[in-house]
Chains A and B, each alone.
Chain A
Amino acid sequence: MEISSALVIGAGTMGAGIAQWCAQRMVPTTLCDNNPEQAAKALKGIHASWDKLVEKEKLTGCQVSQMKSLLEVKPLAAVTDAVLVIEAIVENLEIKRALFRELDDRFPARTVLASNTSSFPIATMAEAVSPARRGQFLGLHFFNPATLMPLVEVIKGPATDEGVASELYAWFENQGKKPALCNDSPGFIVNRVARNFYGEALRIVETDDEASMREVDRILREVGGFKMGPFELMDLIGIDVNYAVTCSVWEAFGRPDRFAPHPLQKQMVDEGRFGKKNGRGYYRHG
């Protein structure tokens, strides 16, 4: 499959990162957002990031000029074609389904529609498009920052054409990503398998005891070779975000013990201790 054009919808952190990565791979890319100011802000941020990479001699001025010419911001209504569409809008199922219904109506039959969702089943979103499109519908879950993190989860829904999924897998691999192919299941691979990196650490410390958390973080870094310990990482990700993902996976699997959120997570969220972003999480920051 040759991705000769991409449309990224949603100019938040993930959408902007995905659009930047596509343009860096020399794919003509359009970035859309229903808030034009957000789209313009994202484009400005991407340009600034590229300019910085020129200063650091990671990219040449010529490469960046080309990338800038390949990335444009447009209202969605003005876009009528793309080989690949990646949706990265707000995590709201009904809004996503409405968007996919519109894309299905307006885009050519060959267009592949993909969602960057981290929480909704691909099958549920695919129901919003016509049966003829469902073979061309799948999940493409990028990791933040999308320009740097190599993984893309290529998620097949029950109706996704095997050939479409495997061609996209091969395309991402050729473009330097490390794709992982998976079937539609709550949390896909990473958000499911990683849950107990946090959950077990919380059960080891049990209480809001900073010294114990520091010890767990130290051991998992020094002995386990992890780049960050679970408490440091939860503070970086956002304890509220991590707790929401934990609850979502737990609910999706029918509340099994092994995914149960720890009471300390809720306590932290209730106390407004979200982590690094507001200065107080499991640790104090700044």
Chain B
Amino acid sequence: MARLIVDFEHGDAAAKRALLTAHADDAVVMDLSCLDPISWYAEFPQLKGSFPGQFAMSGKVELHLREELAGVEEAFRDRGLQPVRVGEARLGFTLPRTLAMIVNEAYFALAENVATKADIDRAMVYGVNYPAGPFQWAQGRQGAFVELLDALAATHGGRRYEVCPRLREEAR
């Protein structure tokens, strides 16, 4: 009988591939924060759902399921996460992709000495009611944002998703 495997690890593509290969007969729901769920769904039929776990904000995370699976949402709740079901999966989903661009621009502004991190955060929270400032979102996630922006750049081409060197430096 197929088991449900929910993979919360922030592993790289090779680790994800190995896990899926080892669970070819199971139903897998996987953290694909910086990978394109559509191409992974096409390659691995056992991959039944995905989510961008590295970008959970205030404990909430987008969850895409290709089919209904009992026990998935409970697995998230057991981890202290609140899944929010979404109709489509895409590279960077919706929130991480949007935040990545806001965070990247905040780093460009910082690098150009437009304002301090504290003033940029304060401006976005008190000027346009953002729930947090870009540097608060980036805290501890710089590496994930860089990885996502690089993946978006590789997928879409052009220079739109070019990473600010200051962000890349802080991700190291």
Interface residues of B in 84-124 (CB under 8 A from A): 84, 86-88, 90, 93-95, 97-99, 101-102, 104-106, 109, 112-116, 119-120, 122-124
Residues on A with beta carbons closer than 8 Å to the beta carbon of B130 = 226
Tell me, in angstroms, the Cα distance from A180 to B120 when the chains sit together.
7
**What residue in chain A is nearest B129 (Cβ atoms)?**
A227
Contact A193 B105 (CB under 8 A): yes
The answer for the CA separation of A258 and B108 in the assembled complex, in Å, is 11
A219-B101 contact in complex given A149-B126, A180-B115, A193-B124, C-beta closer than 8 Å: no
B122 engages A178 (CB within 8 Å) = yes
Contact B124 A194 (CB under 8 A): yes
Identify which of B32-40, B41-49, B54-62 touches chain A.
B54-62
Contact of B94 among A178, A216, A256 (CB under 8 A): A216
Smallest CB-CB A-B distances: 6 pairs: A225-B131, A151-B127, A196-B101, A180-B123, A178-B126, A182-B115
| Any A CB within 8 A of the CB of B71 | no
Nearest CB of chain A from residue B134's CB, rounded to whole Å: 6
Does A204 lie within 8 Å of B115, measured CB to CB?
Answer: no
A283 at the interface (CB under 8 A from B): no
User: A151 near B98 (CB under 8 angstroms)?
Assistant: no
User: Does A162 have its Cβ within 8 Å of any Cβ on chain B?
Assistant: no
Contact of B120 among A149, A189, A204 (CB under 8 A): A189
Given contacts A192-B105, A196-B105, contact A222 B84 (CB under 8 A): yes
Interface positions of B (Cβ within 8 A of A): 57-58, 60-62, 84, 86-88, 90, 93-95, 97-99, 101-102, 104-106, 109, 112-116, 119-120, 122-132, 134, 158-162
If over half of B's interface residues share one DSSP class (helix, strand or loop), that class is named, otherwise mixed; here it is mixed
Q: How far is the CA of A189 from the CA of B128 in the complex (A)?
A: 11
Check if A215 sits within 8 Å of B127, measured CB to CB.
Answer: no
A224 / chain B contacts, CB cutoff of 8 Å:
57, 95, 98-99, 131
Whether the pair A193, B123 counts as a contact (CB closer than 8 A) is yes
With both chains docked as a complex, state the minimum distance between the C-beta of B137 and any C-beta of chain A, in angstroms.
Answer: 9
- When distances are taken between beta carbons in the complex, the residues of chain A under 8 Å from B93 are 219
| A95 CB, nearest partner CB in chain B, Å | 26
Q: How far is the CB of A155 from chain B (nearest CB, A)?
A: 10
> Quick check: is A188 within 8 A (CB to CB) of the other chain?
yes
Contacts of B158 in A (CB 8 A): 257
**Chain A, 169-190, CB within 8 A of any chain B CB:** 178, 180-183, 185, 188-190
> Which one of B98, B109, B159 contacts A201 once the chains associate, using CB atoms below 8 Å?
B98
Give every chain A residue within 8 A of B98 (Cβ-Cβ).
Answer: 196-197, 200-201, 204, 220, 224, 230
B97 partner, pick from A178, A181, A200, A226, beta carbons under 8 A: A200
Residue A223, interface by CB 8 Å: yes
CB atoms of A219 and B94 under 8 A apart? yes
The answer for the CA separation of A251 and B22 in the assembled complex, in Å, is 52
Given contacts A178-B126, A193-B120, A204-B90, contact A199 B101 (CB under 8 A): yes
Instruction: Knowing A180-B115, A223-B60, A258-B162, say if A151 contacts B126 (CB, 8 Å).
Output: yes
